[in-house]
Amino acid sequence: MKRELTALIGLTVIAGVASVSAQDQDPTPPAWAYPTNPPALAGGGAQATTPAPDTTPLHLPGTNLTFTRAQIRNGFGPSDWRPETHPKMPEVVANGRQPDVRACALCHYPNGQGRPENGPVAGLPAAYIIQQLKDFKSGARKSSEPRMGPPAAMVRLAQAMTPEEMATSAAYFASFPYQKWIRVVETTTVPKTRVAGSMWVPAEGTEPIGSRIVEVPEDTARTALRDPISGFVAYVPPGTLARGESLVMTGAGKTTACGICHGNDLRGLGPVPPIAGRAASYLMRQLFDFKHGARAGAWSPLMKSVVANLDENDMMALAAYAAAQAP
């Protein structure tokens, strides 16, 4: 731990050369990166009887296991469709602890790959995971978009976690690598989308991409059943990856080259987290949250100067480029 702190202090000196924040004109979180569920349909009419629980056994390709919808969504023991893709889960990861610590596997999946609205945790350094859990718990890390449900849920459950649960879950997720899971595609036209379950999913028809990233499941039906090996595609505007590469590699006169701290391949360095191949919308939220102060944890000052002079298009290009790299 002492060695890690010394390394981080060294990095602060490097980061210190970046100039102080230019005031940002528009701190509204971009909806493409912060999906919020539509308000529940009003006036639907009360039902006379509660519908019977749906006990239909559901299936996924490549496994004989079946789960009902209620089992898949169980916050205290969700479906483990593919036990062969991860080591044996500790109790807190598999089942959580009633009443407040929901199972990590529900949102990050048993194999830590995580859906974009939650983010991946597989392959992160244990010291980094513990620090994030402490930052959520202390209130130093939250979301710029308070209406987005999952980050608020993450804060609530971290508040209830014991130091032992933090250490056990961190050791588990740090013990195996993160797998490639996001396919980044430059395009001018994208599917229309809607929010379902705090996540963007394709709807009928197409539209111009404009200035945003559209990150959706490769297979919405499989993702709806929480298939932990069915990944995502991130559509990005043409030219985004080249712009991202220049910012990552050189800073392009606006920031510090990322490799100094995250490693040249962006696969992490000591306690500094890997960012290669992780969900583009997740990465965008983090950059935006650092910039606007929602993420202000113990190690966040190192990122504050990195994002100080970046506008939303710069952050989008960085997120797209990092997401496109091999983890």
Residue ranges binding ligand HEC (CB under 6 A): 11, 14-15, 92, 101-102, 104, 106-108, 118-119, 121, 124, 129, 131-133, 143, 150-151, 153-154, 157, 169, 247-248, 255-256, 258, 260-262, 272-273, 275, 282-283, 285-287, 295, 297, 299-300, 302-303, 306, 318, 322
Determine the Cα angle at 195 with ends 194 and 199, to 5°. Answer: 125
Cβ neighbours around 239 below 10 Å, total = 10
Q: Which is nearer to ligand HEC, 92 or 182 (by Cβ)?
A: 92
Q: Which is nearer to ligand HEC, 209 or 287 (by Cβ)?
A: 287
Q: To the nearest whole angstrom, how small is the minimum distance from the Cβ of residue 86 to ligand HEC?
A: 14
90 touches 169 (CB < 8 A): yes
Say which residues have a Cβ less than 8 Å from residue 114's Cβ, sequence separation at least 6.
107, 108, 120, 121, 122, 279, 282
| CA atoms within a 13 Å half-sphere pointing along the CA-CB vector of 131 | 17
Q: Which residues of 71-102 are buried (b: 16+ CB within 10 A; e: fewer)?
A: ebebbeebbbbbeebbeebeebbbbbbeeebb
Q: To the nearest whole angstrom, how small is the minimum distance from the Cβ of residue 96 to ligand HEC?
A: 6
**Residue 99, preceding peptide bond in cis (omega within 30° of 0):** yes
Q: Which is nearer to ligand HEC, 22 or 208 (by Cβ)?
A: 22
CA 110 to centroid of chain Cα atoms: 15
Cβ neighbours around 265 below 10 Å, total = 13
Q: Which is nearer to ligand HEC, 184 or 247 (by Cβ)?
A: 247
Q: To the nearest whole angstrom, how small is the minimum distance from the Cβ of residue 64 to ligand HEC?
A: 27
Q: To the nearest whole angstrom, how small is the minimum distance from the Cβ of residue 15 to ligand HEC?
A: 4
d(CA 5, CA 299): 10
Q: To the nearest whole angstrom, how small is the minimum distance from the Cβ of residue 210 to ligand HEC?
A: 22
Q: To the nearest whole angstrom, how small is the minimum distance from the Cβ of residue 273 to ligand HEC?
A: 4
Q: Which is nearer to ligand HEC, 191 or 297 (by Cβ)?
A: 297
Tokens of 326: 């091999």
Q: To the nearest whole angstrom, how small is the minimum distance from the Cβ of residue 71 to ligand HEC?
A: 16
Q: Which is nearer to ligand HEC, 11 or 214 (by Cβ)?
A: 11
Q: Which is nearer to ligand HEC, 57 or 165 (by Cβ)?
A: 165
What residue has token string 């390709």? 61
